[in-house]
Structure 1
Amino acid sequence: MASIKQVQITFDCANPERVARFWRAVLGYIAPPAPEGYAGWDEFDRAQPPGHQGPAFAAINPTGTEPRLFFQRVPEGKVVKNRVHLDVRVGTGLVGEERLAVLEAECARLVALGAVRGQLLLADGENESCQLMQDVEGNEFCLD
């Protein structure tokens, strides 16, 4: 008998707060509630010992229906292409010029948040068009 599992997607990054804020804005996610006894995450962070402040941030879907995102500070920088990436599904069910217009509008919004536009892959008869992107620390993702 299979059991139901939950998935958390974890990002290694240099600045967890910056990357978390970016992805919250991209996906409409929010910060999870602060730990009990703290008015907010800033208060919790200030209560941590020196060297342990700001090592991680998270983002949750307000409805609780999508995976939690977790952002953790690591000392090394990004060196190679991601082996796993997120597809931000903004054009589902759309084709042709209508799909391209939606991809372009969302791409422009995300560039204003700090994303970097990559290559636009046009529909090829098998796959629909998608826009390659990078987040504020260079992690690849797709608008599709």
Structure 2
Amino acid sequence: MSSVKQFQVTFDCADPERVARFWCEVLGYVVPSPPKGFATWDDFNRSQSPEDQGSWFACSDPSGVGPRLYFQRVPEGKVAKNRLHLDVRVGTGLVGEERLATLEAECVRLVALGAVRVQLLYDGTDSCIVMRDIEGNEFCLD
């Protein structure tokens, strides 16, 4: 049995480029170069049929370690809680008030990008903040 070498995480969304650029800011990811033969992503989009223009976008970890994130346009909006979500790990190794302060600072930064704070889960030692991205997809600051 061979092992998995790479994987990507795919998001269904209404505005792929907007959501991708949000996650680039959250994670420090970058927008990859446009497809071969195109100087810019705008050039690539103009080459597509009208219904396919802007139908997908992607971003990647500049170090090559994290998974590629792929965003695809779908006609329906989000109607229920995600079955899968990302945990943005900003407080790894921290506990108590130090961890909480780190999570709160990152929450402030992400709210300025358009995220929405939903709920703080804190038991005095461990904590996370449940949030929503710019299209309502849940994720956690952990």
Residue pair 2:119, 2:131 contacting (<8 A) in 1 also: yes
Other structure's SS at 1:25 match: helix
- Output the amino acid matched with 1:53: Q
Q: 1-side partners of 2:72 and 2:36: how far apart?
A: 21
1:77-92 to structure 2, matched below 5 A, reads: 77-92=77-92
Match of 2:136 in 1: 138
Other structure's SS at 1:133 match: strand
Q: 2-side partners of 1:2 and 1:53: how far apart?
A: 37
Q: 2-side partners of 1:120 and 1:4: how far apart?
A: 35
Shift, 1:4, TM fit: 3.1
Q: 2-side partners of 1:5 and 1:77: how far apart?
A: 32
- Output the amino acid matched with 1:101: A
Give TM-score, length-normalised by structure 1. 0.95
Residue pair 2:96, 2:124 contacting (<8 A) in 1 also: no
Other structure's SS at 1:58 match: strand
Other structure's SS at 1:31 match: coil
Unaligned runs of 5+ in 2: none
Q: Deviations over 1:79-122 (max 9, x none)?
A: 00000000000000001110011000000000000000011000
Match of 2:38 in 1: 38
RMSD: 1.1
Pairs aligned (count): 142
Q: Percent identity over the alignment?
A: 70
Unaligned runs of 5+ in 1: none
Residue pair 2:32, 2:58 contacting (<8 A) in 1 also: yes
Shift, 1:48, TM fit: 1.0
Shift, 1:33, TM fit: 1.3
